[in-house]
Structure 1
Amino acid sequence: MRHTLIALLAAAVLPAPAAAQTLIMGVGAPSTSLDPHFFNAAPNTAVASHIFSRLVERDALVRPYSGLAESWRAVSSTVWEFRLRPGVKWHDGRDFTADDVVFTFSRASNVPNSPGGFGGFLRMIKSVEVADPLTLRITTHAPHPLLPVDLSYIFIVSRHAGQAASTEDYNAGRAAIGTGPYRLRSHMPGSRVEFERNDAYWGPREHWARATWSVIANDSARTAALIAGDVDLIDQVPSSDVDRLRRDARVALHQVQGLRMICLQADFSRDDNVPGVSDHAGQPIAGNPFRDLRVRRALSAAIDREALAERVMEGSAVPSGQWLPPGVYSFNPAVPVPAFDPEAARRLLAEAGFPEGFRLTLHTPNDRYPNDARTAQAIAQMWTRVGIRTEVAALPWASFSGRSSRQEFGMRLSGWGSSTGEASFAAIHIMGTYNREQRRGASNIGRYSNPAMDALVDRATTILDDGEREVVLHEVVRMAMEDVAVIPLFHLVNSWATRRGVTYEARMDETTRAMAARPAL
């Protein structure tokens, strides 16, 4: 897979003090849970990566490498053998074994009240056999070449700590016992997580004796905290501050092309009475307008993506017409960025029975993605110009995420990253038909459904040859985007800034973690 590095360090940094002790990270979005299987969201994953480990880990360019699994191989087209790393200890000193993996697979598939879990990554597993305490044989329902990639999303938890544990037990720290590079010291939900180095960690010794994950949701406050020296690094660098920080010798800027697509997701779960949708008199509209492809295409055509990327995002985003950026495996070059065409939008609305448009509320987080609320406001203006009178309701992420997962919004601004670096991730988890038994569509909060696309994805994920699989995935992308499963807007450029004396390895998956920070040489 090819990856494009957007930029390197923008300013020279001076050597760090000889004894690096504490790293303070100022982050823009909170983690909603310490349960590593509760919600597949980047902040949650970032926090969990300090405490827990996975069989297969991913580097900054999302390439897999050995984690708790020392090695793996395909025994046959449907059987994989994983050899586990010997001598690994849980934070409480007990031994890690294959039985913990079996327990994890069972637990991660069905966490109560999960707003978007991890079961989809395990959907192809038919059975798991423990050959010995350090050997697993996993049988899949069909050939599944992406199994090691799938397992790079599943944090392994201990049976002895998690057998009777609820999500609240993890949040309270009672069950947050992992094999990761850091131990949990304290947790203030939505505000602060403190870690201390795990000196018995199976991997390289971490540079920081302690690390703090501190939520600073306000963009200006986050930049100010870095300049003042209150934090050592910040993520989600405000686009308005990028040029200024690039010229400031006190800090360094670290950027990489991101995998996250910012998009709009409509509600498909209702036949009528869609939340936030009405006629211009405020009366409910019969039926669900978003189920009409002409309406979805009109909404997309009314958006000027170039203006969003250049003016709202100030150059920190690239317009997109699909969920992968150029240069990544299974990006389809034949699927263009949708043209900005207000006249076509008006025509399509009229053909769909809305010559005068309708009223709409666009829900958005205001502290999750760079310029999220500003982006929503700009889109509202664009839609209003073609007759869809749009109001914006901006909410903190902690409130937005739960309500969105309960299908309380008719239209919402969202962001999803295919951090596997290929197209099947989003096609299964974000746009796949929601089916709890099949573990499909776990993060499909809009409940879009296209059985033909589901079948094509299932076919693609059984093809062992990378080239042949990519051809089928190209067709998956074309089908989903022609049907406007989601309305893509742009891909983010991921940015971090660090104080003088600290460097950071920018990650395509956008997670902020102490392990990626180092004292500058």
Structure 2
Amino acid sequence: MNTLMPKFRAALLAGAVALALSPRMAEAQNIAIAIGGSVTSLDPHFYNASPNHSAAAHFFERLTEFDSSAKLQPALAKSWEAIAPDVWEFKLRPGVKWHDGQDFTAEDVAFTIKRAPDVPNSPGGFGAFVRGVKRVEIVDPLTIRFHTPGPYPLLPVDFASLFIISRHVGEAATTEDYNSGKAVIGTGPYRFSSYTPGNRVQMTRNDAYWGGKPDWATVDFRIISNPGARTAAILSGDVDIIDTVPTSDIPKLQQEPTLQVSSIQGLRLIYLAADRSRDENPVFVTDNNGKPLARNPFNDLRVRRALSIAINREALAERVMENTAKPAGQWLPPGTYSYNPDVTVPVQDLDGARKLLTEAGFPQGFRLTLHTPNDRYPNDAKTAQAVAQMWTRVGVQTTVDALPWSTYSVRSNRQEFGIRLMGWGSLTGEASYALVNIMGTYSQETRFGANNSGRYSNPGLDALTVKATSTLNDKEREKLLQQAVKMAMDDVAIFPLHQLVNTWAVKRGLKHEPRMDERTRAMDIKPSES
């Protein structure tokens, strides 16, 4: 026995060391995330797109913030109140430090308000979120007032979409400085390590974070655009969580003992947007012989209605999306503030569509190309293909051109497509977010239409939107927004298709809080021991 005990203790010690150094134990404080959408910039004011928001949220913060259920919460502002009908006062959180150790103050907020709407070459910026600010007044380092043109109840909601950047870094910084990491100096829970466009963003824990020590020492935030590759990555254990789970893979992942599926009804609408920027010679639209058209058919309401009722939205949701989406006739799901129950999902009517096309002067239809991303939204290219078949059945011969999001998004915002498939998440949970950004008449002066890639314009709708967003009474404002929803849908401002159910696959044992705004963040994932 005496001769065996030393060997037994040595073996026991060796086993303990091996356990301590096992890969899973060594990586216990590290998290690997894979998202499907491409992060096109780390400049938090360059492009209002969900993947960019998800990445930037690790480094930068906002005055207010939406929680996972789209409810407004304090963030860098600890409180706010309307001290006059046209003045909002925000009290800023004390003790907040930038990553370089300097104090966060009202000067940084004022600088952000000035900088956000004027980022050079932005394909879809943040001007809409500061359009309610007429003048900024700094009362003291932790108190700031925003003077509005009139009553504007949505200012705290708008600010939940605007990341605050530091004045001392940002004044001399360009978008390229953010992409290199030089200017990624935020107040958030993680610090910048590296960024490889189209591949990954790497970050480390900010131990001085005002909100407490973050859970993860390092975050490997990867971009895996190919759906099959994302599923393979979570199955192999290469990553800990993936978003936009391919619908066909959900049943398999639900049965996988090492994984769990996390989901929530989302706020994102998948829709089609037609080019309204041209009156004649529309791009990617021709007659049946391939010759240019003298007039833009999308400017004719009868054509827009025909294309809308040619679509079988129930079939898209059930077959293409495999019941992971709900058919939509407007851009908010039922039960949300300003959802209009009188605006129903259009019913497919092929004969009615043909009749409308004939009335519009296209009895034989015409030809068009439907552009779509192929790596941004669940089944985006498949959805476009299904719509193309439906339109072809009513005489609108449709082909599909599917592109990577990094290319597609830039071209779309340059009005290079005739009609395109898009997605929009109304993360405020109310109608004005889309009315201002994707249906408001594009204007740098009014800061409407920042994401209105089709350049739709309806002055009556703009006026109703302004009236609604200036109405303080919640019930009265909701009625006005519901009127605006009906006006927009009657005019087929966009073609709603379906609303997504947001789905993630997560390693079993991790605790993930799914978000209605579909953001994928390290802050929403907790270690199993917590």
Deviations 1:377-417 (A, max 9, x none): 11111111110010000000000000000000000000001
Instruction: Pick the aligned partner of 2:231 from 215, 223, 230.
Output: 223
State the structure with more CA Rg: 2
Displacement, 1:503?
A: 2.1
Q: CA deviation at 1:63?
A: 1.0
Q: Counterpart of 1:7?
A: none
Residue 103 of structure 1 pairs with residue 99 of structure 2: no
The range that moved more, 317-326 or 499-508, is: 499-508
Q: Deviations over 1:214-235 (max 9, x none)?
A: 1111111111110110000000
Cα distance in 2, alignment partners of residues 153 and 416 from structure 1: 14
Q: Is 1:252–1:503's contact at 8 Å kept on the other side of the alignment?
A: no
2:435 aligned partner? 427
The one-letter code matched in structure 2 to 1:263 is: Y
Partner in structure 1 of residue 353 of structure 2: 345
Please list, as runs of the form range in 1=range in 2, the aligned pairs for 1:376-455 lying within 5 A after superposition: 376-455=384-463
CA distance in 2, matches of 1:19, 1:268: 52
Cα distance in structure 2, aligned partners of 1:204 and 1:58: 19
Q: Distance in 2 between matches of 1:233 and 1:374?
A: 24
SS across alignment from 2:134: strand
Residue of structure 1 equivalent to 2:77: 69
Q: Which runs of 5+ in 2 are unaligned?
A: 1-23
Which of 144, 165, 173 aligns to 2:181? It is 173
CA positional deviation for 1:17: 6.1
- Specify the alignment match of 1:295 in structure 2: 303
Is the CA contact 1:504–1:517 (under 8 Å) kept in the aligned structure 2? yes
Identity rate of aligned residues, in percent?
Answer: 61
- Contact 1:236 1:370 (8 Å CA) reproduced: yes
SS in structure 1 at match of 2:187: coil
Q: Say if 2:121 is the partner of 1:113.
A: yes
AA aligned opposite 1:163: E
| Runs of 4 or more consecutive aligned structure 1 residues displaced over 3 Å after TM superposition | 16-20
SS in 2 for 1:51: coil
Normalised TM-score (structure 2): 0.94
Q: Which has the higher contact order (CA 8 A, sep 6+)?
A: 1
The change in CA–CA distance for 1:375 and 1:131 in structure 2 (over 3 A counts) is same
Q: Deviations over 1:305-354 (max 9, x none)?
A: 01100110001100000010111111000000001111111000000000
Match of 2:136 in 1: 128
Residue 154 of structure 1 pairs with residue 162 of structure 2: yes
Q: Conserved in 2, the CA contact under 8 Å of 1:51 and 1:181?
A: yes
What is the CA distance between 1:269 and its match in structure 2? 0.2
Alignment equivalent of 2:344, drawn from 333, 336, 339: 336
2:318 corresponds to 1:318:
no
Judging changes above 3 Å, is the alpha-carbon distance between structure 1 residues 503 and 343 closer, same or farther for their aligned structure 2 residues?
A: same
Between the aligned partners of 2:250 and 2:341, the Cα distance in structure 1 is 30
- Equivalent pair of 1:23/1:212 in contact (CA under 8 Å): yes
Q: 2: distance between equivalents of 1:460 and 1:453?
A: 10
Separation (CA, whole Å) in 2 of partners of 1:248 and 1:341: 42
Task: Choose from 127, 140, 144 the match for 2:152.
Answer: 144
Q: Post-superposition shift, 1:20? A: 3.2
User: Which letter maps to 1:383?
Assistant: W
**Which structure 1 residue ranges, 5 or more long, are not aligned?**
1-15
Which one-letter code corresponds to 1:283 in the other structure? K
Compute the TM-score of the two structures, normalised by the length of structure 1.
Answer: 0.96
Query: For the residues of structure 1 that align with 2:74 and 2:395, how far apart are their CA atoms?
Result: 54
CA distance in 1, matches of 2:227, 2:186: 32
How many aligned residue pairs are there?
506
Inter-CA distance 94–305: structure 2 relative to 1 (3 Å threshold): same
Kindly provide the amino acid, as one letter, of the partner of residue 450 in structure 1. N
Partner amino acid, structure 1, of 2:296:
N
Does the 8 Å contact 1:20/1:209 carry over to 2?
Answer: no
Report the 3-state secondary structure (helix = DSSP H, G, I; strand = E; otherwise coil) of the residue aligned with 2:57: helix
Structure 1 position 273, deviation (Å): 1.4
1:257 pairs, out of 261, 265, 268, with 265
For 1:281, the equivalent position in structure 2 comes to 289
Alignment of 1:35-74 (within 5 A): 35-74=43-82
Structure 1 counterpart of 2:39 = 31
Q: Give the equivalent residue in structure 2 for 1:3.
A: none
How many Å separate the matches in 2 of 1:203 and 1:375? 42
Distance 1:96 1:217 in 2: 36
TM-fit CA distance, 1:206: 1.4
Helix, strand or coil: the match of 2:488? helix
- Name the SS for the 1:75 alignment partner: strand
Displacement of 1:18 in angstroms is 10
Q: Check the 8 A contact 1:85/1:134 in 2, yes or no.
A: yes
Q: Distance in 1 between the 2:134 and 2:286 partners? A: 46
Distance 2:341 2:289 in 1: 43
Q: Distance in 1 between matches of 2:458 and 2:276?
A: 11
